[in-house]
Chain A
Amino acid sequence: AQSVTQLDSQVPVFEEAPVELRCNYSSSVSVYLFWYVQYPNQGLQLLLKYLSGSTLVKGINGFEAEFNKSQTSFHLRKPSVHISDTAEYFCARIQGAQKLVFGQGTRLTINP
């Protein structure tokens, strides 16, 4: 089965520091990948998506991700984080015709 693995369950960083949240996927012919963010007590919001084309994808709130086919990775990055970025982040992929498969989530904690 196609899968998504988020390598870190928790990532603590200091405010204004850069951050990378790691995501690896199982290889297949076609890959469509997403990053979602979940703020406390809320649903999931789409940060960015990779469907095809440029491997560097820019999303909302200053986040970007790079699709790397050789390393089967889709890591999420931000050059300078803010307290408001504290949230849980989920990497996901399309599976088959209808389904979205999620990674386990990474909780990002920003320390002042």
Chain B
Amino acid sequence: NAGVTQTPKFQVLKTGQSMTLQCAQDMNHNSMYWYRQDPGMGLRLIYYSASEGTTDKGEVPNGYNVSRLNKREFSLRLESAAPSQTSVYFCASTQIGGSNQPQHFGDGTRLSIL
């Protein structure tokens, strides 16, 4: 079982460049999430998608956009990367958001903005 797959695993960008982080899950989950992890701050929610066709802002959405391409895929886009966006990004999914079921996480994308 692949679970939640994130690509790429590592990326280095220059300030102002754009890129899209990809996430796909094969568990037929309805809800998907994007988090960023920074030292001493735990994981903070950037955007989430409760179901196919819907997206909502989380705690730290500025500088990001998302697309729920279909039930399996949820991408995160940085339009103009900034050094403050250097972080580890995690995608997660759960069967039904709000059902108190745990989220399943990918292995992360380590992103450095120079």
Contact = CB atoms under 8 A, between A and B. Distances in A.
A98 B40 CA distance: 24
Contact of A44 (B31, B41, B45, B90): B90
Contacts of A103: 42
B56 interface: yes
B97 A104 contact: no
Q: How large is the interface on A (under 10, 10 to 19, 20 to 34, 35 or more residues)?
A: 20 to 34
A49 to B, nearest CB: 6
Contacts, number: 56
A70 to B, nearest CB: 22
Contacts of B58: 99
A96 B48 CA distance: 13
Interface stretch (B67-75, B79-87, B98-106): B98-106
Interface of A: 6, 9, 32, 34, 36, 41-46, 49, 51, 90, 94, 96-105
Nearest 8 CB-CB pairings of A with B = A43-B105, A102-B42, A97-B98, A98-B97, A44-B105, A102-B43, A46-B102, A32-B100
Interface of B: 4, 31, 33, 40-45, 48, 50, 56, 58, 90, 92, 97-98, 100, 102-108
